[in-house]
């Protein structure tokens, strides 16, 4: 069985490729390398199990070529930016919605794909009144354009899978952290402390509290969902079983950098202490559905943050 991973040179995508090749599967990656890095796949470059195609999901012909002989598709390619000052609505529409539509059209024309696995996000829930939040929670009211773009992609997935008879696992991810990550709060704190070792700016009031999951636990959850989905459309939350606040993350990063005495400067944030407009302040997912299939995370949120901080510090020094 050959597996296609879109965005396979990216942060989560490359860790998924690691797992699939370790499981003796043949993997084809399609990536435009706008944010993905060839170095993320370097350990497999001489493997007969890996094939890499430079291509763009905004070009339909690239997708059709990449799908040849593939029975399973993991759709990881996306613009992952939530902060509105770093991304435009047009970027999110093209890279998260139009690219997904092009992939689904190609799958429909190909007719041989049996399973599609989609990396969605917890931000589709918006600000739920139930924590931990189950997959059945609704209505879904995302408060960021990123969350809206992923919810639109989910809707397309459901429709195409139902109409054309392939299995689809939609995975709503918590904050995924680990080696190779190039954005997010841990990465940002490390970069800020490198520039100013005596003071760390923290966006918001510091009480924002969310679930953080190590990337290895994440991709193992993805593989579990792919094996179990069959010919149905299934929703799965993937996250740790707890959450950690931003001030605790700041303390962990300071400790791992040997800068425990650095001052914390809180910006106060917007709209009740959020880091930015569209920032979900509290997030924790109910993962009992995926855990019932035999998956469970090895690390809790704080340990995942600490392991990530160590890895990122060591990789950039």
pLDDT tens, position by position, 206-256 = 999 999 999 999 999 999 999 999 889 999 999 999 999 999 999 999 999
- Determine the pLDDT at residue 85: 74
Averaged pLDDT for residues 183-190: 96
Task: Give 260's contacts (C-beta < 8 A, 6+ positions apart).
Answer: 251, 254
- Determine the pLDDT at residue 230: 85
- Determine the pLDDT at residue 86: 82
What's the chain's average pLDDT?
Answer: 96
Structure tokens at 268: 């106060």
137 is catalytic: no
Task: Give 272's contacts (C-beta < 8 A, 6+ positions apart).
Answer: 281
Distance of CA 95 to the CA centre of its chain: 14
> Nearest CA to 41 among 3, 10, 5, 72?
10
The answer to whether residues 239 and 122 touch, using CB atoms and an 8 Å cutoff, is: yes
Peptide bond into 132 cis (omega under 30): yes
Give 28-72 pLDDT, tens digit per residue: 999 999 999 999 999 999 999 999 999 999 999 999 999 999 999
Give 274-298 pLDDT, tens digit per residue: 999 999 999 999 999 999 999 999 9
How far is residue 25's CA from residue 203's CA, in Å, rounded to a whole number? 42
Structure tokens at 35: 């944010």
Q: What pTM, to 2 d.p., does this model score?
A: 0.96
How far is residue 6's CA from residue 13's CA, in Å, rounded to a whole number? 8
For the chain, what percent of residues have pLDDT higher than 90?
95
How far is residue 149's CA from residue 120's CA, in Å, rounded to a whole number? 10
Q: Is 99 left (phi over 0), alpha (psi -120 to 50) or beta?
A: alpha
How far is residue 289's CA from residue 283's CA, in Å, rounded to a whole number? 17
Give 108-162 pLDDT, tens digit per residue: 999 999 999 999 999 999 999 999 999 999 999 999 999 999 999 999 999 999 9
Q: Which residue has the tokens 């005495």?
A: 261
Residue in 125, 137, 146, 160 annotated catalytic: 146
Secondary structure of 151-174 in HEC code, one letter for each residue: HHHHHHHHHHHHHHCCEEEEEEEC
Q: Which domains does the chain have, with CATH numbers?
A: 2-176+213-238 (3.40.50.720), 178-211+242-283+296-316 (3.90.25.10)
- Determine the pLDDT at residue 317: 44
Confidence of residue 3 (pLDDT cuts 50, 70, 90): very high
- Determine the pLDDT at residue 184: 94
The answer to whether residues 123 and 82 touch, using CB atoms and an 8 Å cutoff, is: yes
């Amino acid at each position: 069985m050959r597996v296609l991973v879109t965005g396979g040179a990216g942060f989560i995508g490359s860790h998924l490729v690691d797992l699939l090749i370790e499981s003796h599967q043949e993997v084809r990656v399609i990536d435009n390398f706008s944010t993905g890095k060839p170095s993320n796949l370097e350990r497999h470059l001489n493997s007969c199990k890996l094939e890499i195609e430079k291509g763009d999901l905004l070009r339909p012909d690239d997708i059709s070529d990449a799908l040849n002989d593939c029975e399973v598709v993991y759709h990881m390619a996306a613009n992952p930016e939530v902060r509105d000052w770093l991304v435009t609505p047009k970027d999110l529409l093209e890279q998260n919605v139009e690219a997904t539509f092009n992939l689904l059209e190609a799958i429909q024309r190909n007719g041989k794909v049996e399973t599609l696995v989609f990396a969605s996000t917890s931000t589709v829930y918006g600000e739920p009144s139930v924590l931990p939040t189950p997959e059945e929670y609704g209505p879904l009211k995302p408060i960021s354009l990123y969350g809206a773009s992923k919810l639109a992609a989910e809707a397309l997935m459901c429709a195409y899978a139902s109409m054309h008879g392939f299995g689809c696992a939609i995975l709503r991810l918590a904050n995924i952290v680990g080696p190779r990550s190039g954005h997010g709060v841990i990465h940002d704190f490390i970069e800020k402390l490198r520039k100013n070792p005596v003071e760390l700016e923290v966006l918001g009031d510091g009480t924002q509290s969310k679930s953080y999951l190590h990337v290895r636990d994440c991709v193992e959850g993805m593989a579990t969902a792919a094996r179990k989905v069959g010919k149905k459309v299934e929703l799965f939350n993937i996250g740790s079983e707890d959450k950690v606040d931003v001030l605790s993350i700041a303390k962990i990063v300071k400790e791992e950098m040997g800068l425990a005495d650095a001052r914390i400067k809180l910006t106060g944030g917007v709209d009740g202490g959020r880091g930015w407009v569209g920032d979900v302040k509290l997030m924790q997912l109910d993962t009992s559905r995926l855990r019932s299939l035999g998956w469970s995370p090895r690390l809790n949120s704080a340990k995942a943050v600490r392991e990530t901080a160590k890895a990122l510090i060591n990789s950039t020094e």
